[in-house]
Amino acid sequence: MSAVESTPGARPRSRRRLILLLIAGLALVLVGGAAAVLAGRDDGPAARFERAAAAFHKAYTPAARALDDSLAQAADGFADPSFAAVTVEANRAGDAFADYGAAIRAIPFPAAAQPAAKDLAEVADFGRTLMTNTANSFGAGTAKSLVEQYRPQAESALAAAEKALRAALDD
């Protein structure tokens, strides 16, 4: 009799092998499933654009809301501590625009979609410039004026450029 078989409560070797085979099989299925998911993931220009757009809107929307709240609370004056929040939120929104423009430029679009992609990247640059100017303005009055005058234009131009790029990618 072997030592394993003579020990009370010990499992026979065949049972251990079965458990090890089941664990190995489960691991193989999990790795194969993960590989299938990754292989099935569409990584074409349209999918990459949609991921970039989703990331932008996820970052920009809360920053824009926080900027509006900060502008409503900020007193006019560059040295006012409440104006620091305006600067922070405008920079955060500007970073979202900058990241979006960089992501769009990094995607290898088909020739038919390149003009629309270029337009979208330029609109993102405009948004970044607007937010940088807002962050660097000399008081809440100037910042409010910039945001009220130019942000609606930037947001509508961005929506139009995204729509045009989607249409170009669908063709």
Cα–Cα distance measured from residue 104 to residue 120, given in angstroms and rounded to the nearest whole number: 8
Looking at per-residue pLDDT, the higher value among 33 and 171 belongs to 171
Max Cα–Cα distance, the chain, nearest Å: 91
Measured CA to CA, the distance from residue 110 to residue 48 in angstroms comes to 13
Interior angle at CA 147, CA 56 and CA 52, nearest 5? 10
User: What is the Cα–Cα distance from 60 to 100, expressed in whole angstroms?
Assistant: 10
The predicted pLDDT at position 134 comes to 94
Average pLDDT over residues 157-162: 98
Model confidence at 36, pLDDT cuts 50, 70, 90, reads low
User: Do residues 88 and 131 lie in contact, with contact meaning Cβ atoms separated by under 8 Å?
Assistant: no
Q: Quick: pLDDT tens for 100-129.
A: 999 999 999 999 999 999 999 999 999 999
What pLDDT, on the 0 to 100 scale, is given for residue 111? 96
**Does residue 33 register a pLDDT over 80?**
no
Q: Which of the 8 DSSP states describes residue 107? A: S
Q: How many whole angstroms separate alpha carbon 41 and alpha carbon 131?
A: 34
Q: Which fold has domain 45-170?
A: Four Helix Bundle (Hemerythrin (Met), subunit A) (1.20.120)
Whole-number Å distance between alpha carbons of 33 and 35: 5
* Domain locations along the chain: 3-40, 45-170
Write out pLDDT tens, residues 123-154.
999 999 999 999 998 888 899 999 999 999 99
Residue 53 CB contacts under 8 Å (≥ 6 apart), including other chains: 100, 162
Q: What is the pLDDT of residue 119?
A: 98
